[in-house]
């Protein structure tokens, strides 16, 4: 019988009292602090709170859609920024 958990960047597989440690491959699209949707959401929540504290307006519907895609892992921060620049600062 196999049982597995992920802890600290390792996948631990327990098989008949033997512990096997296998590395969990990080997604190169995201930094170490934004590997999971929960981590990406926490970073986004923090950025939005800082923006609100500085008196910035809330995100546009377009920005909200981009950041939902970021949290889902479909876009990186760089890709979101590029799309925002293209939409609001076309050159």
Provide the 3-class DSSP secondary structure of residue 91: coil
Domain boundaries, the chain: 1-30, 31-91
Mean pLDDT on 75-82? 94
Answer whether 34's CB lies under 8 Å from 49's CB.
no
Quote the pLDDT of residue 1: 44
- The whole-angstrom separation of Cα 12 and Cα 53 is 42
pTM, to two decimals: 0.68
Quote the pLDDT of residue 75: 96
In this predicted model, what pLDDT tens digit does every residue of 11-32 receive, in sequence order?
555 555 555 555 567 788 899 9
């Amino acid at each position: 019988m196999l049982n597995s958990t992920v802890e600290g960047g390792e996948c631990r597989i327990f098989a008949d009292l033997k512990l096997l440690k296998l590395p969990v491959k990080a997604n190169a699209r995201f930094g170490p602090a934004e590997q999971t949707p929960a981590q990406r959401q926490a970073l986004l929540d923090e950025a939005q709170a800082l923006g609100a504290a500085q008196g910035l307006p809330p995100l546009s519907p377009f920005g909200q859609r981009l950041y939902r895609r970021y949290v889902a892992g479909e876009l990186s921060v760089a890709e979101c920024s590029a799309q925002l620049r293209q939409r609001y600062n076309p050159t």
